[in-house]
Amino acid sequence: MVLALESSCDESAAAVLDARRGLLAHELFSQVDLHRLYGGVVPELASRDHVRRLLPLVRQALERAGVAPGELGGVAYTAGPGLVGALLTGAALARALAHGWGLPAIGVHHLEGHLLAPLLEDPAPSFPHLALLVSGGHTMLIEAHALGDYRLLGETRDDAAGEAFDKCAKLLGLPYPGGPQLAALAAAGRAGACPLPRPMLDRPGLEFSFSGLKTAVSLAIRAQPLDDQRRADIARGVQEAIVDVLCGKALRALDQTGLAALVVAGGVGANTSLRERLQRECAARGARVYFPRAEFCTDNAAMIALAGLMRLERGERSAPGLAVRARWPLAELRPPKREP
């Protein structure tokens, strides 16, 4: 059994995962109300709030799981990538608890957590599979061969898909965090009423680019008076463009690799339109698609618990010391290494 902490950005979370019984508890506190006033995450405020929230969340998770610290086999925490101050709060607490309880601690790569989140569901995907990782900071197509064995097939050259959702939402005057708000507004928009470019979809390869979408949206906003219908039409246009590109490239990657399973992970994976479209298109070509439940698409500690548990079970331990990394390329990850 592992206890896990997540504090890489603006959600504080704790979870308890049992290797046999599955997920026993997962607790989360979102800081969105704290950051909304500033239109984005303020790193120093995020760190200070993690300090306040994490320990009560740990207590709550253990209580809800009905687990005493003596029953745990390790403590996992997000060691990067993310906001360095925020990461340090979780790392310090996790390491202190592990030390006090005499348990091994393990630092987890946040994106490996996202990639493994679909494995918390039933049925769970098996390796190898294609992964579409779409979060606020990343847009990647990955050939996942095994735990820690990931080959990057293509990524974004500029903005991430979630960032594009957030920036276009801001242009439309929607409050932070924009992605889910834009998706909600898009439901009232008319299909095809505001056609926007599909960056790089017509080009071969598996790279993405989303920065041009902002410019196209600013032009669309200026082109006509903005009433409620027009705003919804633009939101719909943005969502259609992003979903089209993500879907087009993911299907191309399935064709190129010959893989028959697609795993979708990261915050944008919570988008209903993306889920429906991928489900339909994958079914049509006989491929299977796996998503985490929506609450495990966005940041959470359950996915960190799973990545930590899988690595601890295979004998990996993090070296002592408080090392977190703001930047940490996924390609640097390796399969678990046994402690010598």
Q: Which residues contact 147 (CB under 8 A, 6 or more apart)?
A: 116, 127, 310, 311, 314, 335, 336
Residues 112, 143, 159, 166: which binds ligand KG4 (CB under 6 A)?
A: 166
> Which residues fall within 8 angstroms of residue 66, CB to CB, at 6 or more apart?
24
- Please state the closest distance from residue 143 (CB atom) to ligand KG4, in A: 20
Q: Which is nearer to Zn ion, 135 or 271 (CB)?
A: 135
Q: Is the CB of 31 or the CB of 135 nearer to Zn ion?
A: 135
Shortest Cβ 2–ligand KG4 spacing (Å): 21
Residue 104 interacts with ligand KG4 (CB under 6 A)?
no
By CB under 5 A, is residue 299 in contact with Zn ion? Answer: yes
Site string for Zn ion, 314-333 (x = CB under 5 A): --------------------
Angle between helices 272-284 and 178-186 (to 10 degrees): 70
Nearer Cβ to ligand KG4, position 97 or 263?
Answer: 263
Give every CB contact of residue 57 below 8 A, 6+ residues apart in sequence.
5, 12, 13, 14, 27, 28, 29
By CB under 6 A, is residue 298 in contact with ligand KG4? yes
178 binds ligand KG4 (CB under 6 A): yes
CA geometry: angle 8, 132, 173, nearest 5 deg? 65
Site residues (CB under 6 A) for ligand KG4, limited to 222-281: 266-268, 270-271
Nearest to 191 by CA among 281, 283, 277, 282: 277
Per the DSSP assignment, residues forming a β-bridge with 67 are: none
Q: How far is the CB of 115 from ligand KG4 (least distance, A)?
A: 11
Tell me the C-alpha distance between 14 and 27, whole Å. Answer: 5
- Tell which one of 85, 107, 125, 177 touches ligand KG4 (CB under 6 A): 177
118 interacts with ligand KG4 by CB under 6 A: no
Q: What is the side-by-side strand order in the sheet with 2-6?
A: 22-30, 11-18, 2-6, 74-80, 105-109
- Binds ligand KG4 by CB under 6 A, chosen from 142, 183, 305, 310: 183
| Cβ neighbourhood burial of 220 (10 Å; 0-12, 13-18, 19+) | buried
Kindly state the smallest distance separating residue 178's Cβ from ligand KG4, in Å. 6
For 200, the 3-state DSSP assignment is: coil
Contact positions vs ligand KG4 (CB under 6 A) = 9, 135-137, 162-163, 165-166, 177-180, 183, 266-268, 270-271, 298-299
